[in-house]
Structure formats: C-alpha cells, structure tokens
Structure 1
Amino acid sequence: MGSADELNRGYFDDISELKQHSGKIALANKILIPGIAARKFPAMHVIYSDGRKSKLPIVFDASGR
C-alpha cells in the first residue's frame, strides 16, 4: 500500500512528474541481461498455415543475405 502523500496526489501531479522524467515512472538498468549471462535463442523450424517454411532465428551473413 502507498504512503498517505502518494494516495493524496492528484492526476495533474502525476502527469507533471511523468513529463519531468520523460514518461518514466521508475529507474531501470540500461542492460536487462548481460550478454555473458544470456542464453542462446533455440533454433526452431516454423511451418505457416499456407505451407511456407522458415527457420528461426533468421541469421544473415556478412553480405546481408
């Protein structure tokens, strides 16, 4: 439960604070998951309802293909 001050704040106080902080209501880390701790996305074969097939993740080589 919030403090009494927080409960007594008005709508315009909240909007003013959001504008001051560029719409952010809480501090967040710049990096969600460090690269060293991140797991590799598993390869998946996808078959669409129209019969097309894809493999995820889609990986491009240096030439952009």
Structure 2
Amino acid sequence: MHNTDNLTFVKSSHSGGNGACVEVATTADGGRAVRDTKNRDGGTQFYTHDEWAAFVAGVKAGEFDV
C-alpha cells in the first residue's frame, strides 16, 4: 500500500481552471503517483519508474494521438 502523505503533487502549467486536471508526484523510488484534481481523495494510481518512462516515451512518439 502506498502512502501519499509526503508527496508533493503538481499539475501542468497548461491546465485550465476548469478542474478537469490530473496531478502528478514523484515517489521516493523514482516512480510517479497520479490523481484526479476533481476527486483527490478518490484514489491515486502509482507507476514504477519504468512504467512512467514508457508512458512518456509513448506520448512523445504520438502513440496516444487521436
């Protein structure tokens, strides 16, 4: 079980003020924690460093473009 008490979550400076954003924090082991700004207590998803790196690489490569 992961604890989010000591994490510092940030959201993109490109996020609008409509509340439809996600926040990301770096975990102690270099992974990432992600949560929804509309429901911060609704749960947090955790990713290892390798999982996050693969996701970022996919975004940069256009794998998620619609």
* TM-score of the superposed pair, with normalisation by structure 2: 0.21
TM-score, length-normalised on structure 1?
0.22
Larger RCO (alpha carbons 8 Å, 6+ apart): 2
**Which has the higher Rg, Structure 1 or Structure 2?**
1
